[in-house]
Amino acid sequence: MHPLAEELNEIIKKGNLHIYEMLSELGKKLYFPKGILSQSGEAKKSAHKYNATVGIATEGDQPMYLPSAFRCFNELLPKELFVYAPASGIPRLREKWTEKMIQENPSLKNKSFSTPVITNALTHGLSIVADLFTNPHDKLILPDKIWGNYKLIFGVRKEVDIEYYPFYDEKNGFNVIGFQETLEKCSSTGKLIILLNFPNNPTGYSISKTEAQKIVEILQEIAKNGCKIIPILDDAYFGLFYKEETLKESLFGSLANLDKRLLAIKIDGATKEEFVWGFRVGFITVASADTPNEVYTALEKKIMGAI
């Protein structure tokens, strides 16, 4: 294993051993190399007098560009448009998305979580999470009403074993009992990946505040009993909440610092929230209980390595 990967693993082990044990075999091997990308990022932060980095052709104090590529932009400068972004994404955008998350998810206030890493939309984010945290035959818990690409991302690519539960109960609400029974049945494996998508694709169903609280309690109980839990919150349709009783924020806020054996992962993006479908901008954010920032930084570097 590469020394940089071993270094990241030791940081994660020291900060939260359960998270290290959640990593896939690939996830344990991932690291961000100290090469051109890393050095360029460090230079942008710390060096302001001379630019000795390579990879971008410059003219004067800005990157070279084609007028045909620039003419569509009115307010941005060439050096804001054409230079490489860091592997984790433009820092200012990551900061603004963090502010947006806290504003729209009051449960996140005063909780610790990672700075969002930018991905090539949500599907890319899901694929990265699958790479970092799933081995063949790990258990993935899904409802029977899903976006079909979950099977491709997790089942075909990563060869996980998918366990389904009926999405609706007899009153056409979220099937809390079926959800709980499926988790309890599979928890003997010691590790569960649970994908929660609200509003749900394809049904459009959004959970109520009461249903949300029950989901949180179930996950907390399973984690307290010794099973490592990875709830993945696919928030692709976040904000499409229309009923009074509907939970108006992501479950990520309630799960963020719930238990050291629970690593909540939020996958979201501008695609549908900001009506920019073709921009392909997504984010990965993670949180666990009693977990130092060094662990989040180490996970960020593994995510950057996967990107």
Does one domain contain both 154 and 77?
no
What pLDDT shows up at residue 34?
A: 85
* Position 11 in a domain: no
Tokens standing for residue 234? 């696919």
Those residues with Cβ within 8 angstroms of residue 2's Cβ, 6 or more apart along the chain or in another chain: 29, 31
Q: What letter does residue 33 receive in the DSSP assignment?
A: -
Does one domain contain both 236 and 258?
yes
Task: Quote the CA–CA distance of 149 and 163 in Å, as a whole number.
Answer: 15
Q: Specify the number of domains making up the chain.
A: 2
What pLDDT shows up at residue 47?
A: 61
Cα separations in angstroms, 275 against 62, 233, 269, 272, 299: 31, 20, 10, 5, 29
Does one domain contain both 170 and 58?
no
* Position 17 in a domain: no
Last residue of a domain, one of 81, 113, 143: 81
Please state whether beta strands 191-196 and 161-165 pair in parallel, antiparallel, or not at all (unpaired): unpaired
Does one domain contain both 207 and 181?
yes
Does one domain contain both 91 and 120?
yes
pTM of this structure: 0.93
Last residue of a domain, one of 81, 114, 140: 81
Half-sphere exposure of 207 (CA within 13 A, CB side): 21
Q: What percent of the chain has pLDDT over 90?
A: 79
| Structural domain span for residue 208 | 87-306
What pLDDT shows up at residue 267?
A: 98
Summarize pLDDT for 205-234 with one digit per residue, the tens.
Answer: 999 999 999 999 999 999 999 999 999 999
**CB distance 194 to 230 below 8 Å:** yes
* Position 8 in a domain: no
Does one domain contain both 161 and 73?
no
The CATH number of the domain holding residue 247 is: 3.40.640.10
Summarize pLDDT for 112-144 with one digit per residue, the tens.
Answer: 999 999 999 999 999 999 999 999 999 999 999
* Position 16 in a domain: no
Q: What would the mean pLDDT of 232-257 be, rounded to a whole number?
A: 94
What pLDDT shows up at residue 54?
A: 64
